[in-house]
Amino acid sequence: MGVLSNLGMLQSGKESQPDEESYDLVISMLFRQDQIDTALKYIDLALKSGYMLSTRVFVDCIQSCVSKQRLESLVMIIEKCKAMDQNKALSPNWSLCQNLAEVAILNDNSKLTFLALGFMARWIQLGENGRPPVYHSVDEGLVISALATAARTYDSTLLEASWAILKRSLREKRPPKPETYLAKINALASLGNLQSAFSTLSELERIHASSAAAEEDLLSPFTSLYSLGVKPNAMSYSLLVDAHLINRDPKAALSVLNAMVEAGFEPSKDTLKKVKRRCIREIDYDSSDQVSSLAKQCKIVLGTENRRNILFNLTYNTEYVS
């Protein structure tokens, strides 16, 4: 009753201020009772009062916000904690970090993905400094997903953090997988950093092209990467276009096509048709028209795909005639 009365006095505007323990107990109780809005309000008040949150409250907050899809609120709470000396060391356990990253990626929340990777980087550092050391490693599949999120949200900070934590996890025991390189290339191209994308292509070829297993990975669904150099060629441009099409981003694919033509290379008829088809499926008719104009500029006749478009736009009437 004393704890509740203290917080009640705070709500009523009276001068008596609850202490850290009072906030801790009531916030935990509110999360258990599924009163997330009120719990978040008191967390905000506690932080504004300069109090240190307990690990229990911090973990309860993460779990509740993830469960209720209050991800933006969670981002704000975490960022406020990181800005305070007394709360910046707060972190969920390794398992919850992974779960947090997965949820953030599924929701294309680049800020929360970055924060989750930051927590994981801290655990990696702490583990390596332990006696005896504990070696945590981020799953490479999770990094690939994070790179895809960086591409979709045009977040260069997330791109850099994803690559850095992967390299830290691998500890120079092996290079990143070819598909991870391709995910990075896609993100760089989405951000318009084509020079870095081509440099990454060159690195990918240098590291993996001599491996038969890597060759099989590289041939599907992308074009072969053999005979590439640091300078981009028609094949490397086509690879970037394919990466954007897989990511369902026709505008980014079109930007690469334009850069390809400006560099003096001519896209194939098949590449142009694939981009135009993706434009139509994403209902991006402006980009579709630009692809047609580009085809005319290159004196390539795309023809029509009436049969394919009829099938794509077909609607079915499920009502029976009475």
Q: Where is the domain boundary, 174, 207, 223?
A: 174
50: alpha, beta or left? (left if phi > 0; alpha if psi -120 to 50): left
* Residue 3 and residue 83 in one domain: yes
SS3 state of residue 220: coil
- Spatial separation of the C-alpha atoms in residues 82 and 247, rounded to whole Å: 33
| Residues 275, 245 contacting (CB under 8 angstroms) | yes
Total number of domains constituting the chain? 2
pLDDT digits (tens, 9 = 90+) for 181-235: 988 988 898 888 888 988 898 888 888 765 544 444 443 334 433 336 545 677 7
* Residue 114 and residue 167 in one domain: yes
Tell me whether residue 198 is in a domain: no
Range of the domain at 141: 91-174
Tell me whether residue 202 is in a domain: no
Find the angle CA(124)-CA(127)-CA(133) to the nearest 5 degrees: 135
pLDDT digits (tens, 9 = 90+) for 205-217: 888 765 544 444 4
- Spatial separation of the C-alpha atoms in residues 236 and 197, rounded to whole Å: 9
Mean per-residue pLDDT, 11-18: 58
**At residue 107, what are phi and psi to the nearest 5 degrees?**
-100, 10
Tell me whether residue 75 is in a domain: yes
pTM above 0.75, yes or no: no
pLDDT at 95 over 90: yes
* Residue 96 and residue 82 in one domain: no
| Residues 291, 279 contacting (CB under 8 angstroms) | yes
Q: Where is the domain boundary, 50, 72, 87?
A: 87
* Residue 6 and residue 75 in one domain: yes
Tell me whether residue 195 is in a domain: no
**E strand or H helix at 1:** none
SS3 state of residue 83: coil
SS3 state of residue 126: helix
Tell me whether residue 204 is in a domain: no
Tell me whether residue 9 is in a domain: yes
Q: Where is the domain boundary, 53, 72, 87?
A: 87
HSE on the CB side for 114, CA within 13 Å? 16
Tell me whether residue 81 is in a domain: yes
Find the angle CA(100)-CA(104)-CA(106) to the nearest 5 degrees: 120
Which of 106-120, 241-255, 262-276, 281-295 has the lowest average pLDDT? 241-255
